[in-house]
Structures are given as structure tokens and as C-alpha cells.
Structure 1
Amino acid sequence: MLKDIFKRSHIAKAVLISAAFIVASNAQAATHIFASKLITSEDSKMQSDKTVIVENNKIISIVDGKNQGGEGDTFIDLSGSTLMPGLMDMHVHLSYQNEGPSSYLKRFTANEADYAISAVDYAQKTLMAGFTTVRNLGDVTNETVALRKSISQGVSVGPRIYSAGKSIATTGGHADPTNGRSSDFMGNPGPLEGVVNGVAEARKAVRQRYKEGADLIKITATGGVLSVAKSGQNPQFMTDELEAIVQTAKDYGMTVAVHAHGKEGMKRAILAGVDSIEHGTYMDKEIIRLMRKHDVYYVPTILAGNFVAEKAKIDGYFPDIVRPKAAAIGPLIQKTFARAHENGVLIAFGTDSGVSAHGDNAQEFALMVEAGMSEMDAIMSATINAAKLLKIDKELGTITQGKLADLVAVKGNPLEDITLMEKIDFVMKDGKVVKQ
């Protein structure tokens, strides 16, 4: 009997040892990231000498001091740097980049594959600039829907993409892809191509975007600067069309972003229930009041406004019909931003990159600060505010235990020099270091 007890105890001991070995071998190594300064975006405070501990793709804790972890862990020393949540740009066009006169010929010379390959390149530049999440507001042929899948599968390198697919316009409106063509090439685009007239077509265009894999809806509620059409600010959707788009989008769990320069187009869109106004050039007190009342976000794109205003000074850079719009509208956006910020409008960071060069997105920060926003508020507009607009603030937007590990860092203190945001030298996306 004693012999049997002795034998069983040895078996039990062996089982315990084996179980401990299995647990140890399956334990995940952690990454410990120490930074001299930490901006969590949970509040407006900057913290000092913190270590953020990441396991798999999640933030598991934030501890005081320089914690290098244990055997098998990775330690990243960002002494002298400021660590922040991954940045978010709420208005990009990854498959396009303005190159002057040749940009208008590209519609006739480029194929779907050309746009897709360009998007791969521009997406990588965007991620290396510290933008781990973007909202892509307008494709040519759904190329960023395909790119989103490629990036999520680890085939391509780029930010987390929320794509609107093809923007929705009205006939002849901004984002009608046939504007400026001769009658032989103009055709009669419809909801499939993102061009609508009336409630039924408006609903069909939203459902078509859903069918094609879009994450959200983008509409052009007024004229635009770069489209080959006369007006840059007239309203281009009727109220019933806007209401149909918003109602249908909500049925599919999609938000609605609205390109708008003129007041009337903004007013109709806000009252229809949209989520954000892009550009907002001729926003006045009434529009500001409505945006605050309905919690509509403003995505300014100051960088794009400044870019087109400068290029409008160059003979031949824009077509004659575009040049006066660029000269008139471009310089006003920064002033509009200043008024909106001063009056408490919700603001989410956005650049309209593709108008200006991809990878230059962070130049928007200095323009925001120049217009009166604090450095911290500018950073929060590109982190927690953007996450709230996308409705992903439970997963991203702050450095918080349990959230996804999207982190960026700059040498020095961006609250003392906001232009440091243009020199991101550490990027982690989804727990993986992509730039160091």
C-alpha cells in the first residue's frame, strides 16, 4: 500500500511539472516601452517616466518608472521622447495625389490597377508618418476597400482603413466622375457610380456602397474646389435625398461624412442627421449653433486649403474653372477653424491628404495651433476625438489598459514645439513595431 501511495505521488508531481512547463511555454512575451513623457489622451495631462506594457496587440498596463520586464520580454527605451496614442486622420484619399495639370488627365490614362498600386505606396507613407488609422473619403474604383483587406491580412503595410468607397454625388455635382468631359465621354452615371437623383437612387447608392464593402458613407453636399464645375459652394442635394441617405446608412450601421463649403448645404446635411462636416468653409454662427446642438464633428482640412490657395497663384497649375475657386475658398478654412474651435464645435483631425502630399499629414497640427488651438487639444483631435467620430473609442484613441496597442513617439516635447509631430520616429500598430 505504501508503495502505491509513493507511486501515485510521483505521478501527480510529474503532472504538475508538465502543466507548469506547458503554461510557461505558452506564456506570451511582453513588450515594455519606456518614455520620458506620456500623453494618454484620456485627459489633457502629460505624465512623466512611464512604461507602457504591451502583450500580443493589447496594452496590459502602464507603470511608473523604467520597467524592463523579465526574461524573454522586449524592452524599448524611448528616453527623451514623448509617447502618444497612434494618430488618426479623418480625411484622406489614399489612391490619389495632386500633381497639377496631369491630375486631370489621369482619369483618361490610369487604370484600376494604377490607382490600387498608388494607394499601397501612399498608405505606407501615411503609416510611417504616425497615422495608424485613417478614414478614406472617396475612391475611384473601391481600391481602398481592397487595400483595407490586404493590410488587415498582413499582405500590405499601411494604417487601419475605414473606407467610404466611392463618394456619393448628384448629377454634375462635386464627385460626379464625368464632370468636365465632352459629351462623347460624359455618359449617364447612376447609383452604381455614386451619382444619384431622387430618394430611390439615394437609397440604392448607399446600399451599393454597403454591397461593395464600404465602412461609411461620404457625400458631397455642396460644390467643391477641385471639380471641373463652376460653383464651389452651392447646395447639391435636396433635403429628402439627404434624409434618405442618412436613414439608409444608419440601417446598415454606417456613419455619414459630408463634404461641404457653402452654408445651405451644411444646414441641410446637419438637420438630416449626418456625423461630420468636412472643410466647412462658409460656416457661420447658425451653422456653429446647429453643429453644437446635434453633436456634429468638424473635420477642418486646413492643410488642403492652404495648399490649393498657394497653387492657385501658379499659372496653368489648375484649369481656369478651378483656379478662382481655389484662390477664394482655400485661404478661408483656417479662419473658419479658428471660429469653430473658439465656439466649442467638436473637432476631429483631418487633412484631405491627396490634395497635398501623403506623409505630410502632420503639418496640419501646426496650422491648428497657429489658429488658436492648444497643442494638447490638437493632439487629442487626432486621437480620442477621431476615435469617437469613428465610434471606435472603446478600442482605440487613448493609451488605456485593455485597448489596442497603437502607439507613436517623437523625440522631445510636442507641447513645447508642435512641429515635432512632423518627425514621428516610433510607430507601433496593433502591437507590432513598424518604425523605430
Structure 2
Amino acid sequence: MRTHFALAASLLAAAIPPAARAEPADTLLQCGRVFDARAGKVLGPHVVVVRDGRIAEVRPGTAGTDATGQRIDLSDRTCLPGFTDLHVHMASQSSPQSYSEGFRLDPVDFAYRSVGFADRTLMAGFTSVRDLGGEVAPHLRDAIQQGLVRGPRIFAAGKSIATTGGHADPTNGWNDALSHLVGPPGPTEGVINSIDDARQAVRQRYKEGSDVIKITATGGVLSYARSGDAPQFTVEEVRAIVDTARDYGFRVAAHAHGEEGIYRAVQGGVTSIEHGTYMSDRVMRAMKEKGTWYVPTIYAGRFVADKAKIDGYFPEVVRPKAARIGALIQATAGKAYRNGVKIAFGTDMGVGPHGDNAREFLYMVEAGIPAAYALQAATLHAAEVLGVDDQGVLEAGKRADVIALPGDPVADIGNTMKVDFVMKDGVVYREPAR
């Protein structure tokens, strides 16, 4: 597999430039407005000075700095920290062929696809993503870091950890002959059935180069299985995963739809709950007590509920789950916000089309979440979930991940769909047409 990925990377390096252009040592961004992610407010004109991939200075006004260098005029735009999507799957994108492609395509095919998806994501203003499940992601992360291809900074989970027959068991839907030929998957393949298995699966993800651990604490919508919400781990298994992950500096994200499975994941100490469809008052109290983050992925819920209306888009075992569960997530997100649960931004993109990530902002606001909070969810809050302190705000010393868009996104959240300036680590990838 590594040989395939190395071949793909070498071919793509010749075809795709690593960046639009490398900036000189000092770049001055003249911003008409800036979003203060800590305060959740849009402020007036500022100059952002970028040096060696970092923000060197942020000064109010239109001059106000001794720095010299190339000045980029964004005086008619709002500058923000680069957005982070905490739940993506960069190697795939939903289609009626998705279920057969796993048998027909090779890993290198998914690797090639991921390059285009990564570029679209970056161009939409998402300078960081957390890829929660996919063996391609660590390799794509490395190719981006090496400058071979363009894309966001990736925090990769690698293979999700599941239980036998659970969401993310890679053999779900296989016939008996194929299952007997391959044999039952175990911790190496990310499938566990005991505390010892749980520890081994985390260690295997460490061996494979993951940055974060993802578990599937309940059934899922798109897996080839009947239940979309049944609990699939014991509290003890979750706790073993979390404790072992902590040894390696990992945080744990839990896919979870059903109430009992969410509750067990929270009690086990996960960092974030993904989806959270049937989140109850009991669950929300526990999340607030433990400081657990919620990543709603409203986009995915809306997308699958819509596609469930189309004959043949999903297998029949999936279709009723998509119709029932997908439609509920937006209401749950609004309820969680009103009850004081901490919310961060994620889309489950790969379910929907990559590059459309910002539509989640619109759905969050529709759910009753203030626009400023939604923007914080994709900047400051996302950095907290990742456990990093060098991004998510426009401040001296932070990574020079800066995006810009027309208008005021707090006044009109639809402006997040109009990003036309993208800088990551001080390199400009997109500029407004003049």
C-alpha cells in the first residue's frame, strides 16, 4: 500500500504546484475588518503582519506598523482565522456507487481522489481539518506537509475503532464465502471486543501514524447494518481506549447517535461527541460536567435525509436510517446550544461534497446558534478540541492561517460561502479577482 501511495505522490508532485506562490519574508494584510475569535466580534480596520509563516503583529488602523514588505489589499473584506472542520473524510465522497467502490477500487484510486478533495477544502477557507476515519488520510497529510500537493493541515485518525458488526467494521455486508476467506477482523483492522483489544487497537493506530483516535460508539447511518443508534462499546472499553490514547498524546472522538452510547462515551472520557442525534438531558448534563465537546455535523444529517428520498441512492438497509436519523441532528444542535453544551464545527464532509463545508455555518444559525458563536466553533473552539494553541485566532505568534471574505459574516452568515482569500502558514493560495 505504501508503494502505491509513494507512486501517487511522485506523479502528483509533477502535476500540481505546492502553492500559488511563496510570499516574501514580510507580508502585510490590510484588512477592512477582522474577526476577533476570542471576543466573538467583528472589529474595524487592522493590519496583519506575516513573517516566516507566523503572524508577527496585528495592529488596528490602516498603517500603524513599522513592518515593510508586500501589502495585500483586503480593505473591502473581513479577515478571519482559517476555518477548521473537525469531521471530514478526505478519501471519499458519497454517491450511489460508494458501496461497490470499496470492492472495485484500489487504495491508490482513493488517494488520487483525495488530492482534489483536499484542494477544494483549502480553497473554501478551511486551513485545517480532522479526518475521522480513513487509511488514506495519514498519507495525504504527509504529502501536504511535504509540499507535494495542496490542501489543509490534516489531523488524521486513520482507521476508526469499532466492535464486531458495528459501524466501521470493514466486513459489514460481506457474504459468508468472503468473510470466511478473509477471517474476522481484529484490533489491527480496528475491530475490538475486549479491554485488551481496545488497548491494542490504539497502539496499532499509533504505529500507523495517527494523530487522533476515532471510535464508533453506536451504530451509524451509512454502515451496512440495521441499527443506527444501538450502543456498541462498554464504558470500560471506551475508558481503556481513552486511557491508552492519553499515553500517546491522543484525544478521542466518538461517533455516536443513540442516547445510551453517547452517555457511555462521555462517561468513558472522550474529548468529543460527533453527531449526537438522540442526545438527552441526561447526556447534556454529563457533557457539561466533564467538559465534553459536541460536533453536530448538521450538514451530513441534512444531506442523507435528502438523499434517502431518492430510489437507489442508498441500499435498502441504510435508507430508513438515513431518513429517520439524518433529519434530527439540526434540532439536537439547537437544543445543545441552548443547554450550554460546548459546540465545535464539523460537517462529516465526504458524506456531502468537499468544498461545501461552509454551508454548515448556515445550518448552525438556522438551528438557533448565533453567527458569532458558529464562527468561534470553527476557529477558537476547534483549536481547543484539537489541543493546539497555535491557531484559531489572529494574534502575534500564531500560525499565519488567514482567510478573507466580502461583507460581515456576523451580520450575514452567508458570507462564509464567499471566501476568496486563503493563506496557510504564510503562503497565499487564493486571492480575490481584481
Q: TM-score, normalised by structure 2?
A: 0.92
3-state SS of 2:44 partner:
strand
* Cross-structure match for 2:150: 157
2:133 pairs with 1:138: yes
How far is the alpha carbon of 1:68 from its aligned partner?
Answer: 9.2
Q: Is the 8 A contact 2:76 2:406 kept in 1?
A: yes
Pick aligned residue for 1:199 from 195, 220, 224: 195
User: What is residue 286 of structure 2 aligned with on the other side?
Assistant: 290
Match runs of 1:20-59 below 5 Å: 29-59=25-55
Q: Which amino acid aligns with 1:166?
A: K
1:125 aligns to 2:123 (yes or no): no
Contact preservation (8 Å) 1:32, 1:67: no
Counterpart residue type for residue 147 of structure 2: G
CA offset at residue 233 of structure 1?
0.2
Please name the residue that 1:170 is paired with: 163
Question: After the TM superposition, which parts of structure 1 deviate over 3 Å for at least 4 consecutive aligned residues?
Answer: 68-72
In the aligned structure 1, how far is the partner of 2:68 from the partner of 2:259? 59
Paired residue for 1:148? 141
Q: CA RMSD in A?
A: 1.2
Return the offset for 1:71.
Answer: 9.3
Distance 1:254 1:225 in 2: 26
Residue identity in the other structure for 2:329? I
Match of 2:107 among 109, 112, 128: 112
1:29 and 1:72 in contact (8 A); partners too: no
Cα deviation per residue 1:361-401 (whole Å; 9 max; x = unaligned)? 00000000011111111100000000000011x20010011
Match of 2:420? 425
- Identify the residue that residue 18 of structure 1 maps to in structure 2: none
Gaps of 5+ in 2: 1-23
How far residue 333 of structure 1 moved from its aligned partner, in angstroms, is 0.1
- Using structure 1 for the length normalisation, give the TM-score: 0.91
Does 2:404 correspond to 1:409?
A: yes
CA distance in 2, matches of 1:274, 1:172: 22
In structure 2, what is the Cα distance between the partners aligned to 1:239 and 1:205?
Answer: 16
8 Å CA contact 1:68, 1:74 repeated in 2: no
The corresponding residue for 2:391 is 396
Instruction: Determine the C-alpha separation between the residues in 1 that align with 2:111 and 2:35.
Output: 35
Mapped contact 1:32–1:69 kept (Cα < 8 A): no
- Specify which of 318, 322, 325 is matched with residue 322 of structure 1: 318
Structure of greater Rg: 1
Aligned identity (percent) is 52
Whether the aligned pair in 2 keeps the contact of 1:236 and 1:265 (CA below 8 Å) is: yes
Maintained 8 Å contact 1:375/1:414: yes
List aligned pairs for 1:156-305, cutoff 5 A. 156-186=149-179, 187-305=183-301
Alignment of 1:87 with 2:87, yes or no, is: no
Report the CA distance between 1:42 and its aligned residue: 2.0
Point out where structure 1 has 5 or more consecutive residues left out of the alignment.
Answer: 1-27
Q: Does 1:376 align with 2:372?
A: yes
CA–CA distance in 2 between the matches of 1:199 and 1:64?
Answer: 54
Q: Are the counterparts in 1 of residues 26 and 67 from structure 2 also a CA contact under 8 Å?
A: no
Q: C-alpha offsets along residues 16-51 of structure 1, whole Å, 9 cap, x if unaligned?
A: xxxxxxxxxxxx741110111110202122210111
- Report the more deviating stretch, 241-250 or 63-72: 63-72
In 2: Cα distance, 1:265 partner to 1:236 partner: 7
Contact 1:206/1:249 (8 A) holds in 2: yes
Distance in 2, matches of 1:104 and 1:50, equals 49
Aligned residues: 405
In 1: Cα distance, 2:355 partner to 2:67 partner = 37
Match of 2:10 in 1: none
**Secondary structure in 2 aligned to 1:291?**
helix
